[in-house]
Structure 1
Amino acid sequence: MKSHKNIKFYSDRSIRLFLGLVLLLVSLQSCNKVKAEDKLDEKKVEKAAVKPISDLSIYNLPSQWTDQNNTDIEMVDLRGKVLVMVMIYTSCKAACPRLVADMRNIEQRIPAKIKDNVKFVLVSIDPSVDTPKRLKSFAIENKMEGDQWVFLRSTEENTREFAAVLAVNYKKISPLDFSHSNIISVFNAEGELAYQQEGLGVNSDETINKITVEAEKLN
């Protein structure tokens, strides 16, 4: 009987040892897989960093901008994200509220899995009024405070130059009002124009599809 108990004891210990080794091997394989994925992500970042900016990219623009947090940036600082851009002014009572609503609708409808790859950028055509403080207040008023929302202002010259790139026309028609194009533009991660939606309250399915296609390339 004693011999039989010893055999059972050694058998149980062998089983526990075997299971321990199996768990260790699985753990090592998982670690190696994570490390391999990390290296792959690092290579993607390095590749993006060294890739030259194309002639069609808005990141060639040298202009300086200030965001709603009073931080100075250049357009190239947004590189690596899909950009959904629109030009508005915060005191607008006609078209701009509709454009803002369209932007919020698009932001809400894009798939959750790509949200981190997309920035929504609203550029002021009235920089003399739309100070960083005013842009910040506007963002709060419209519940657009997340990191995905960027509000920008610059000089009149830089604003005109950028509007020309987006094919947006605007003109001051009174001390407080502008007439302007109603265009939402989608740029890929390299700052190249991928799609434009024109009009107010129009169907955004194609816009969302284009954003999704470009953003999924970054996953």
Structure 2
Amino acid sequence: MLCEGAKFYDEAGSCPVCKMDLKQIEKASKEMETDEISEESIFNLMSKWHTEEGKEIQLEDLKGKTLVVVMIYTSCKAACPRLVADMRNIEAQIPDEKLKDLTFALVSIDPETDTPERLKAFAIENQMDDEQWTFLHGTESGVREFANVLSVKYKEISPIDFSHSNIISVFNAKGELKHQQEGLGVDNKETIETILQLIQ
């Protein structure tokens, strides 16, 4: 005798047809939920990127870890070194054993100059070549789209100079924006608190 196929029951008991015990599958569906990407997630962006190692990825490949993102360009002499220092300062306040749950991503707004090779050299020069650091090189349109999502405004003012927003963004493991820190050398207490809550 066939049972009732894919029918679901809300309460424990037994199958009215074969009398087998009904098993709860709430846990499985909860796991399925965790894999789902919400409409607010940056992982919906389909743009292709190259890491400083030359590996092609999509933002979704960064899923599963808390993500701290800043947009910079390597030839910047003013704001970007301060933003890099702010990122290093945030990293320094995270317990070492928690760093494995974090990705610090630096996204170049100057894809023409900041090739993956140049980003790699910049990472080494700034002692940001550990596993938790990722540098991203994208297309003009991919960078512009990502900047819009982050509310980062930037404008080329000469072939080697850009004016840009100074924003550090924190995303949860599903790519949903949870906090933004704006300005240079600002008090990052709230940023640290957000990160620590997300990686608990």
TM-score by length of 1: 0.76
* Higher Rg of the two aligned structures: 1
Write the letter of the residue equivalent to 2:91: E
Question: Is 1:69–2:53 an aligned residue pair?
Answer: yes
Whole-angstrom CA distance in 1 between matches of 2:139 and 2:42? 17
2:181 corresponds to which of 160, 172, 197: 197
Whole-angstrom CA distance in 1 between matches of 2:160 and 2:77? 10
Whole-angstrom CA distance in 1 between matches of 2:77 and 2:33? 41
Whole-angstrom CA distance in 1 between matches of 2:122 and 2:183? 22
Whole-angstrom CA distance in 2 between matches of 1:47 and 1:205? 32
Whole-angstrom CA distance in 1 between matches of 2:31 and 2:53? 30
Question: Is 1:176–2:160 an aligned residue pair?
Answer: yes
1:146 corresponds to which of 130, 139, 157: 130
The alignment-based identity, stated in percent, is: 60
Whole-angstrom CA distance in 2 between matches of 1:88 and 1:75? 17
Size of the aligned set, in residue pairs, is: 173
Summarize the Cα distance change of 1:109–1:156 in structure 2 as closer, same or farther, 3 Å threshold: same
Residue 92 of structure 1 corresponds to 76
After superposition, the C-alpha distances for 1:173-205 in whole angstroms (9 at most, x for unaligned) are 111100000000000000000000000001111
Question: Is 1:108–2:92 an aligned residue pair?
Answer: yes
Q: Which structure has the highest helix share of the two?
A: 1
Summarize the Cα distance change of 1:97–1:77 in structure 2 as closer, same or farther, 3 Å threshold: same
After superposition, the C-alpha distances for 1:4-23 in whole angstroms (9 at most, x for unaligned) are xxxxxxxxxxxxxxxxxxxx
Residue 35 of structure 1 corresponds to none
Write the letter of the residue equivalent to 2:108: S
Residue 139 of structure 2 corresponds to 155
What is the RMSD computed on CA atoms of the aligned residues?
Answer: 1.6
Question: Is 1:213–2:197 an aligned residue pair?
Answer: yes
Structure 1 unaligned blocks of 5 or more? 1-42
TM-score by length of 2: 0.83
